[in-house]
Structure 1
Amino acid sequence: MNNTGKTFNEKDKRRNTALHVAVENNHQDVAMFLVGEDGSGSTSHSTNNFGKTPLCMAAETANLKLVKAMVDKTPSSTADTNSDLLETILRKMNSADLINSTDQGWMSPLTLAAYMDNFVAVRILLQEFLADKGDENQLLPIHVASKKGHCRVVEEFLNHCPDLRESRDHEGRNILHLAAMYGRVDVVRYIIGKRDLQVLSKQRDQSGNTPLHIAVQNCHPKIVKILSLFDAYERGNLNSLNDAGETALDLAEKTGKLTLMALNLANAPRSEEQTVSKETQDSVPKSLHNSDNPMFSKECVNTLLLVSTLVVGITFAQGFTVPGGYSDSGTPIFLQRCLFQIFLICNTVAMCGSITASIALMWAQTYDPSIIYATMRFTLPVLGVTLTMMSSSFLAGVALTVYHVSWLRIFVYAMGLSFTVFLVGLLAPLIDLPVSYETILTRAILFFCFDLLMFVSGYN
């Protein structure tokens, strides 16, 4: 096999390989055989004394079948940068035929280049192709690039034809709508960062949805944060209603906690109808009546009840097996130590909180939607505080037992502080905080919690 590879790459006086000669003399069958036997695809890119490769020679003769066979064998890193080949094909073939040609997926060459993020090909093809020629769904190549998140390609389209920023698909969505729908953070940041493109954030599709509505509907909290914080400077965007009379915050209450938190950070408002409903609490959200809602299912209630019961048992046992033990008089040895007092207070709070949560969850066993809703809103924050206190009591107890070893005590302090901050960051969003955050400290904590949740959930 190695000998065959050497034979393929052997060159004559003109530095032509066997494939050069086959293509030059139009021996189609021989050329196809040589291409098929060349496992690495390197022979197709071997240059002769005139700087020509078999691939370029096949392109010059418009031998598309042979070109396709060679490109299929070409490593992607070589194919993506072969701009000379593309320019040769454009010179030798009829531009009108190319403009109207499509592949099996009904993609034009320019659309396919945008889809594959081939920036060089897009730049070359834009000289010949109409950038505003779409498919049957009015989907333009720039729309495809925006959907796929290819920021450089989108920028190239807009530099070549600035009017493309006003282009819409068959549902009236612009490029920012599409980037928000498919969670393309880089494209959204690029558009929002350009002053002449920021108007796209205000545009609506055929259903009256702004890009912020679309991001919320498709549960992309990172993009919701970017758009909502930008829109916070222009209240009109956050107040925008779609055709169903809903703001972005109204939609977020039906989707996910992170999107809701991102909008709360920007002080996004509800619609007047939803505000009245929220203030009067006339009814339980419709999602509670859905038996498929995992948050309010029987399994979820039972799981939380199990957790709270386990915490009761652990804290009860911890209250009598205190660190350091007891003196002969029956009092704890470390009773006067500050760390022991912290341990005792945290353990007591955890004990009382877990018992309270267990009793509340027993009421949820009735499976009445209103009671479950009220129980969950009460229980989740209580369990969050309980788990935080339990971990704090453990860390205080450990620090107390190693008190006389300085480096170990400092390590426990540092570990305990870091873990507590991390734990609070994860638990804080479970508490229903008001929409408006007035203090800088509160907003900073909530931004930290949001970014932490984004990181652990993998959205970054």
Structure 2
Amino acid sequence: MSVPKYPGLLDEEESFETAQTMDPKLYRAIMKDDILEFVRAMECDRQHGPKVSCVQLGPQNKTVLHVATSYGSYEIVKLICKDLPDLVAEKNARGDTAFHIAARAGSSQLVTLLVNSDFAEGGLREKNEEGNSALHEALKYGHEEVARILINRNPVMPYSLNKEGKSLLYLAAGAGFLTIVRLLMDNPVGSYSTGAKHKNKSPVFAAILGHNIDIIKLLWEKDPSMFQLRNSKGKSPLHAAVCMGFTEGVKFLLDRQFEFAYRKDKQGFHPIHSAASKGLVDMIQMMLQHRPDARELLTAHGQNILHVAARSGKYKAVEYMLKRPEMEMLINEKDADGNTPLHLATIYAHPKLVGILARDKRVIPRLLNNNRQMALDIAEEQIEVGLVSFHKRLTCMALRSVDAPRAHKPTSRSTSFKLRDQPETESWRDKINTILLVATVVATVTFQAGFTVPGGNNNTHYDPGIATMLKKVKFQEFVICNTIAMHTSVIVAVTLLWAQLGDPSSMRLALKSAILLLGIALAMMSIAFLAGVYLVVSTLCWLAITVLLISSSFVFALVVLFVPLCFLGSSNRHIFRRLSYYPFCLVLYALRD
């Protein structure tokens, strides 16, 4: 038996079914709202039965009424509603009736035609595959006038939820339709205000998300019990208003029921903790004005608002709290793990925040957590464990720059390396090889630049071989910087050769020294390039200035990037540790952290 050239193709062809199609003339007539052509197309096949044409369906199971409504063909929709009213309740492949399509498009004219047809009531109640009625669609897409027409046509419409769990009242509140919300709340059928039916999708939360204070006031007036509901995360309406930064909503809720301020969500956060975690200073200030004792509230993990702000890295919120004398008691408070705000800022690597806290004289950096660690112990421990993020290096640098104490002596380098496994040692070797490669490239480039100087050499019999631009200041700058870069990179290469001997302590010391020297070599090479290019284009003023500005900015960026790599805060000398604070600030400014 022969094997098919394309296996499986025959099976697909056998199972293929021709899709439903609509007569092209009929479809084009509907698109153009050409009623005469539409009537001719509907009557053209009467020999096959009087209703063959009228039940023609498109690929998505659309009737002629679906298509006409989609294209806004008013005259044809009007004719169909009069002569073929049973099509009003027909559904397409998505479960949409003509009502759904017209309501989604926001066409009040088409909706009015449909609601006045004989089969309108059935179409109004139908739901599509998403569980939406036509009224759901109108509210979901923000068509207030259409929603009002649909409600007036059927004022006793029963309560309903779509498959997302959203009620008509939820959608109306979220859209900000005050009149519609009032109509739905006054509906005599369905108990729209019954709390149990809004458990997961409360209209109150919808109004808060939309910052609709008038609707919030109306909901409170009609049914205050709805404000006791919480969302799936256990958050109350006040939590939601605070997180949204909804000032009017927060003030309204605190004025009506202050108990909201003392309720926790599933995470164990009170509303003021939510404000602190997002750094919303205005929200914190407002809540403290209404409930001053809210500053004493603790999360489920025993953390105050300063803890939460420090953990989240919200330095503006922390700065605000540090400026408030009445919050001084929070500064050195410990959570369930014994961590102070400084500990948490260190653990979560927020260097700017660590710098702010560590330099505040009221902060006590020597406090121990439950692991008997001070903040610097945590920072150094994070650096010791292999690959470490840039922010963690800066965090450690911030603590060292203010002479933060440590509870434990640093692990000796030899012991530290003995504790590491072989893959970790190989990681250090890879770093050394990378730096060695860069240093070799720098040495090669600067060596060549030393013999191909800008402007070339004198070829006359007077001073043969001497540089033609020898007396230019920029040329002298080029030579000096290039010489420093070349010799520094050679020293880096030799230093790293010592590291290849395998001694763990020399490996770390060599790497630490090499990074600093390589930074100097790269900076000198960049300045040499700047001087050389500036020298050869100096006669064209605008170009020389442009080169100077561009190169200077990149040299500055180079310095900023190399500062934290060089561990400026790791010196044992007090003066160097203090001086390292300024490059630390420079790095933070460059990072906009």
TM-score normalized with structure 1 length: 0.80
CA distance in structure 2 between the aligned counterparts of 1:43 and 1:134, rounded to whole angstroms = 25
Q: Contact 1:179 / 1:188 at 8 angstroms: preserved in 2?
A: yes
Q: Which residue of 1 aligns with 2:430?
A: 299
Identical columns (%): 30
Q: CA RMSD in A?
A: 4.1
- Counterparts of residues 129-278 of structure 1 (less than 5 Å): 129-135=259-265, 138-229=268-359, 231=360, 233-234=361-362, 237-255=364-382, 256-265=392-401, 267-271=402-406, 273-274=408-409, 277=410
CA distance in structure 1 between the aligned counterparts of 2:584 and 2:175, rounded to whole angstroms = 56
Letter in 2 for 1:243: N
- Give how far 1:202 is off: 1.6
Q: Which residue of 1 aligns with 2:586?
A: 448
Q: Which residue of 1 aligns with 2:192?
A: 63
- Give how far 1:137 is off: 5.7
Letter in 2 for 1:341: Q
Residue of structure 2 aligned with 1:109, choices 227, 237, 243: 237
Q: Alignment partner of 2:405: what SS?
A: coil
CA distance in structure 1 between the aligned counterparts of 2:585 and 2:207, rounded to whole angstroms = 41
Find out whether 1:54 has 2:54 as its counterpart.
no
Using a 3 Å threshold, how does the CA distance of structure 1 residues 142 and 272 change in structure 2: closer, same or farther? closer
Letter in 2 for 1:175: I
CA distance in structure 1 between the aligned counterparts of 2:444 and 2:175, rounded to whole angstroms = 72
Q: Contact 1:176 / 1:191 at 8 angstroms: preserved in 2?
A: yes
- Give how far 1:227 is off: 2.0
- Give how far 1:315 is off: 1.1
- Give how far 1:103 is off: 2.6
Q: Which protein is bigger by CA-based radius of gyration?
A: 2
Q: Alignment partner of 1:219: what SS?
A: coil
- Give how far 1:398 is off: 1.2
Residue of structure 2 aligned with 1:354, choices 489, 498, 517: 489
Q: Alignment partner of 1:170: what SS?
A: coil
Using a 3 Å threshold, how does the CA distance of structure 1 residues 383 and 79 change in structure 2: closer, same or farther? closer
CA distance in structure 2 between the aligned counterparts of 1:46 and 1:245, rounded to whole angstroms = 54
Q: Alignment partner of 2:260: what SS?
A: coil
Find out whether 1:384 has 2:519 as its counterpart.
yes
Q: Contact 1:146 / 1:187 at 8 angstroms: preserved in 2?
A: yes
Q: Which residue of 2 aligns with 1:125?
A: 253
CA distance in structure 1 between the aligned counterparts of 2:316 and 2:505, rounded to whole angstroms = 42
165-174 vs 83-92, which deviates more?
A: 83-92
Q: Which residue of 2 aligns with 1:335?
A: 470
CA distance in structure 1 between the aligned counterparts of 2:559 and 2:271, rounded to whole angstroms = 45
- Give how far 1:285 is off: 4.8
CA distance in structure 2 between the aligned counterparts of 1:94 and 1:46, rounded to whole angstroms = 19
Higher relative contact order (CA 8 A, sep 6+): 1
Q: Contact 2:208 / 2:237 at 8 angstroms: preserved in 1?
A: no
1:357-403 deviations in Å (ceiling 9; x for gaps): 12222333355432321112111100000100111111111122123
Find out whether 1:28 has 2:158 as its counterpart.
yes
Using a 3 Å threshold, how does the CA distance of structure 1 residues 444 and 378 change in structure 2: closer, same or farther? closer
CA distance in structure 1 between the aligned counterparts of 2:243 and 2:426, rounded to whole angstroms = 38
Using a 3 Å threshold, how does the CA distance of structure 1 residues 409 and 17 change in structure 2: closer, same or farther? closer
Q: Alignment partner of 1:324: what SS?
A: coil
Q: Contact 1:22 / 1:30 at 8 angstroms: preserved in 2?
A: no
CA distance in structure 2 between the aligned counterparts of 1:287 and 1:216, rounded to whole angstroms = 27
CA distance in structure 1 between the aligned counterparts of 2:397 and 2:289, rounded to whole angstroms = 36
- Give how far 1:313 is off: 1.3
Q: Which residue of 2 aligns with 1:319?
A: 450
CA distance in structure 2 between the aligned counterparts of 1:215 and 1:250, rounded to whole angstroms = 13
Letter in 2 for 1:237: I
- Give how far 1:75 is off: 13
1:98-127 deviations in Å (ceiling 9; x for gaps): 43x333333333333334443333322222
CA distance in structure 2 between the aligned counterparts of 1:91 and 1:416, rounded to whole angstroms = 66
- Give how far 1:73 is off: 11
Ranges in structure 2 where 5+ consecutive residues have no aligned partner: 1-69, 75-101, 113-144, 383-391
Q: Alignment partner of 2:233: what SS?
A: coil
CA distance in structure 1 between the aligned counterparts of 2:291 and 2:374, rounded to whole angstroms = 33
